[in-house]
Amino acid sequence: MVSVRKSHQMSQASFEQWLVALELDDDKKAALEKLYQKVSDLFDDKTPCQIKSLEMVEILSALNLDTDSLCAAFICPLYEYKCISMEYIEENFSKKIYMLCKGVGQMEAIKALHQSQSSQVSANQIDNVRRMLLAMVEDVRAVVIKLAERLCHLRLVKNSDEETRVLAAKETSNIYAPLANRLGIGQLKWELEDLSFRYLHPDVYKKIAKQLAEKRLDRERYMTDFVDNISQQLKSSGIKGCVYGRPKHIYSIWKKMQQKSLDFEQLFDVRAVRIIVDELQGCYGALGLVHTSWKHLSKEFDDYVATPKSNGYQSIHTVVVGPEGKTIEIQIRTQQMHDDAELGVAAHWRYKEGNASGKTSGFDEKVSWLRKILQWQEDVSESGELLEELRSQVFEDRIYVFTPSGDVVDLPSGATPLDFAYYIHSNVGHSCIGAKVFGRIVPFTHTLQTGDKVEVLRSKTLNPSRDWLNPSLNYLHTPRARAKVQHFFRLLDRDKNLAAGKEMLETALGKLQLSLAKVDLSAAIERFNFTTKDDLLAAIGSGNTRLLQVVHCLQQENEKSKPEVEIDPQSLIRQPQQADTQAGDNNGITVSGVGNLLTHMAKCCQPVPGDDISGFITQGRGISVHRVDCEQLANALNQQPEREVEVQWGIDSKQSYQVSINIIGGDRQGLLRDISTIISNERVSIIGIESNTDNAKQSMSMTIKVEIANNEALTRLLAKLKQLDDVAEVKRL
């Protein structure tokens, strides 16, 4: 359940009472008392600021953070509410406190991770993200303070209007709760999730809370007996440890219900027990006792001690069928594993202050992913890819696969064998010619699953394919792997890339009646952070900078010198080169057993080469060719099944075919131009356009009829149209 704390009123007496209640050590008390004396006058008439300062210190003291962190947390709300400036903090407090406050301020850049990634990410935005990453790696305490601030914010908006609550909840559930999870701070994660869920889905939240309360007494009696049973068994076996019932949080209950399509009554982990032992050996000793005493569900067993999660989480999970046939979830871990799971990176400072030996290995694991991003980001060619990689590290589900030697590799869900190869090393990826999963050869597009044992097959030479960069072919899933392939081609042959880029840009501009020789490239050079024309062209040739983005930039600059002209959709239309009805092979259709018959493409489903097709004998118009899934064909065959005839596509047909494409998106200026540019670049002809605009919703629906060669070309075109900004849906009619 969510704990919403009482509001604090600031006064000397209440401050001292509050400080005593925290049970801090003398050094922390003295530092906070001195700090309060210095800033107390700044809190006048700013009650929310007072509440936030005190609650942030409460939260972080529960995590056992150090003195500097508590002082920085006390000051940060004053900066947030504009009571003081960052310059004031720098001049009046220690350098450590100033750097922590500055790092908390830089955490605002993380909001860029939740914004829809535009085709052109601003240099300022990506620079802010890089600075934020550096601040996180240099002192991750800034992240913990920021998470505490967001938790306070959620508590404070409880009595605000619905719009304010929902906005805060969405930002928290989409950004800060996943970040708390990635850093292993379970103690913050669960309350961030529960409060966000409470605001976003109040009815569901109340229903689950009511269901938990209804049988609470019976459940508590049952759990007390079960805990006593296990405790006695541990004692009899000489295993030192403690056992207690574990509270289940409402958001995690709801999430499990959604993932497994279960009702509340079907959930086994509403009843949950945690066993904490002194030593690692005790984990497996306790597991043996549990599995000997009760039948366990093998599919629900996970050993995260042997194979930790990507955020360093370690614990053994099992589910047993306990007394009365009721299922119970059991977690088994050591005290250090428990501290790491609840406190995450914050546990580092508990160990650091209390133990000179410094048990910091778990901390290093939790921030290693940040260091890896900083290590490879110099190879990132497009600023958006740094954001994309950071998104995948924080928000995406993870999988855990094994190398042939048994090492664990942590990858985003959806990763392929090529992603795995590039994770191992750039040269392993560059020389990859195949892969095996459990000894069986799999294609590069194979999606890896947790537990897979992956072996990379290599050649003696480094020879990656440019096709690997094509997103529609699904060779690579991770931004890191794509960045490494792009880096290879960028360095491979600058002269070759320069010539290729020049040819590509000349061709693209020619289709827009523009000349490369006459176009001023300075705007594109500046926009994409190059210093010379040759650098820009080489980047286009290597695939490092997207041609379409450059063309858009140049087109916009060219249009600035012209008066605004409304685009007439009919001006993009050309007349079909030939009629819909053609004889014999002219339509690329072969009729089984009969030659030289009149055929035509059915307008209802508009088949193209590559589609599964069937023929229907019409009266006077020859054979109508339909897709096999066409509803009109099915209706006709229900009435006259004898008219069906087998047809197939001819070999190497040069015929083009008409297809209608529906596009739904935002009503922005230039969208029609962007769509027509993509269609033109794919060498596809537009023969008709119909569009409707909803001004109230600022949306549009457009149906474009094109002539296209085959299904493969159509699939490629649809994929590229879907990548356009403000396009929500693209489908073939």
- Residues 697-712: b if buried by 16+ CB within 10 A, e if exposed: eeebebebbbbbbbbe
pTM greater than the 0.85 cutoff: no
DSSP element (H, E) containing 701: strand 699-708
Are the beta carbons of 715 and 472 closer than 8 angstroms? yes
Distance CA 134, CA 488 (A): 26
- Please tell me the total number of residues recorded for the chain in this structure: 733
More confident residue, 128 or 593: 128
3-state class of 464 per DSSP?
A: coil
67-101: per-residue pLDDT in tens? 999 999 999 999 888 888 899 999 999 999 998 89
Averaged pLDDT of the chain: 77
Distance CA 7, CA 57 (A): 14
Which pLDDT score is estimated for 94?
92
Distance CA 614, CA 624 (A): 8
Assign 456 a pLDDT band (cuts: 50, 70, 90): very high
User: 173 to each of 89, 138, 415, how far by Cα in Å?
Assistant: 31, 26, 24
Q: What are the structural domains of the chain?
A: 12-200 (1.10.3210.10), 208-346 (3.30.460.10), 366-490 (3.10.20.30), 493-562 (no CATH), 581-649 (no CATH), 657-732 (3.30.70.260)
Count CB neighbours of 326 within 10 A. Answer: 14
Contacts 24+ apart (CB under 8 A), 171-176: 171/111, 171/114, 172/196, 173/197, 173/200, 174/114, 174/395, 175/110, 175/111, 175/113, 175/114, 175/394, 176/146, 176/147, 176/150
Q: Rounded to 5 degrees, what are φ and ψ at 358?
A: 70, 90
206-246: per-residue pLDDT in tens? 888 888 776 777 778 888 889 999 999 998 888 998 998 87
Distance, C-alpha 381 to centroid of its chain:
20
Distance CA 308, CA 184 (A): 12
pLDDT at 714 over 70: yes
Assign 559 a pLDDT band (cuts: 50, 70, 90): low
270-283: per-residue pLDDT in tens? 688 999 999 888 88
Assign 387 a pLDDT band (cuts: 50, 70, 90): low
Q: Which ranges constitute the DSSP H helices of 183-325?
A: 186-200, 202-214, 216-236, 250-260, 280-293
More confident residue, 292 or 370: 292
Distance CA 373, CA 388 (A): 11
Are the beta carbons of 79 and 86 closer than 8 angstroms? yes
Residues 6+ apart with CB under 8 A from 60: 69, 70, 73, 144, 145, 148, 346
Percent of the chain past pLDDT 70, that is, above it, reads 77
Assign 358 a pLDDT band (cuts: 50, 70, 90): very low
Please compute the mean of the pLDDT values over residues 610-615 and round it to a whole number: 82
Closest by CA to 678, choosing from 667, 669, 670, is 670
Distance CA 360, CA 351 (A): 7
β-sheet bridge partners, residue 731: 662
DSSP element (H, E) containing 407: none
For the ranges 99-108, 410-419, 539-548, the one whose mean pLDDT is highest: 410-419
Residues 6+ apart with CB under 8 A from 126: 383, 384, 386, 387
- Give one word for 334, left, alpha or beta, with left for phi > 0 and alpha for psi -120 to 50: beta
3-32: per-residue pLDDT in tens? 334 444 456 667 888 888 888 888 889 999
26-69: per-residue pLDDT in tens? 888 999 999 988 888 887 656 788 888 999 999 998 888 889 99
Computed on alpha carbons and rounded to an integer, the radius of gyration of the chain in Å comes to 32
Distance CA 436, CA 421 (A): 11
Residues 480, 483, 489, 490: is their CA dihedral positive or negative? negative
Antiparallel, parallel or unpaired: β 598-601 and 589-591: unpaired
For the ranges 175-184, 446-455, 582-591, 684-693, the one whose mean pLDDT is highest: 446-455
Residue spans of beta strands (DSSP E) within 443-575: 454-458
3-state class of 562 per DSSP?
A: coil
End-to-end CA distance of the chain: 49
